[in-house]
């Protein structure tokens, strides 16, 4: 199943300062709920994500990297690919960031999408959609929190 979420918010800081924060992969990766970043460079990071929800507890191991990064236009696309432990299937996430000056501050457009295959997607009743929805929401909220907090 695939999900996509758009979120827009404004930050008091300048686009340049915001950009520096947003392109710190350790910070961005760590914002994913349940994520632990185990290593990070300027270009990529590795880590794991533990999704724990009610009766479900699954762990993904994966890596993320920039697939697109335009420091001038303040646009970046980060892709993460997680492989579920115990034959779970895969999960992938794509985050598209776009910053634009707005007044004194910055307007941030964040588009996140997520694909889940395998067992969790078969759990039933669309529950994993709700879960992914929630995870993406928390992720964006965390990013926003880091920038505005």
Q: What minimum distance in Å lies between the beta carbon of 107 and another protein?
A: 9
Return the range that interacts with another protein (CB under 8 A); candidates 20-28, 29-37, 38-46, 141-149.
141-149
- Minimum CB distance to another protein smaller for 5 or for 21: 5
x/- binding map, residues 99-118, to another protein, per CB under 8 A? ----------------xxxx
* Residue 99 buriedness (CB in 10 A; 0-12 / 13-18 / 19+): buried
Which residue from 56, 61, 69, 33 is spatially nearest to 45, judged by alpha carbons?
61
**DSSP for 15-48, written as a single string:** HHHHHHHHT-HHHHHHTSTTEEEEEE-SSEEEEE
- State yes or no: residue 126 binds another protein (CB under 8 A): yes
Q: What minimum distance in Å lies between the beta carbon of 70 and another protein?
A: 23
Interface positions, 9-68, toward another protein (CB under 8 A): 9-10, 52-58
Return the range that interacts with another protein (CB under 8 A); candidates 17-25, 28-36, 38-46, 140-148.
140-148
Q: What minimum distance in Å lies between the beta carbon of 66 and another protein?
A: 20
- Minimum CB distance to another protein smaller for 72 or for 87: 87
Which residue from 55, 25, 62, 54 is spatially nearest to 41, judged by alpha carbons?
25
Please state, in angstroms and rounded to a whole number, the distance separating the CA atoms of residues 141 and 147: 10
Q: How many residues does the chain have?
A: 149
Please state, in angstroms and rounded to a whole number, the distance separating the CA atoms of residues 67 and 44: 10
Q: Point out which residues bind another protein (CB under 8 A).
A: 1-10, 52-58, 83, 85-90, 115-127, 129-131, 133-134, 136-138, 140-141, 144, 148
């Amino acid at each position: 199943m695939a999900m996509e979420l758009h979120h827009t918010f404004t930050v008091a800081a300048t686009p340049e300062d915001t950009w520096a924060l947003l392109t710190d992969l350790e910070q961005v990766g760590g914002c994913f709920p349940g994520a632990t970043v185990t290593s990070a460079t300027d270009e990529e990071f590795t880590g794991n994500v533990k999704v724990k929800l009610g009766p479900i507890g699954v762990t993904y191991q994966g890596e993320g990297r920039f697939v697109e990064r335009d420091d001038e236009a303040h646009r970046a696309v980060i892709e993460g690919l997680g492989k579920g432990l115990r034959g779970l299937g895969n999960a992938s996430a794509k985050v598209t960031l776009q910053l634009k000056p707005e007044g004194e501050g910055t307007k941030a457009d964040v588009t996140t999408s997520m694909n889940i295959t395998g067992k969790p997607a078969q759990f039933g009743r669309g529950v994993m959609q709700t879960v992914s929805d929630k995870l993406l929401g928390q992720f964006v909220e965390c990013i926003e929190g880091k920038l505005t907090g």
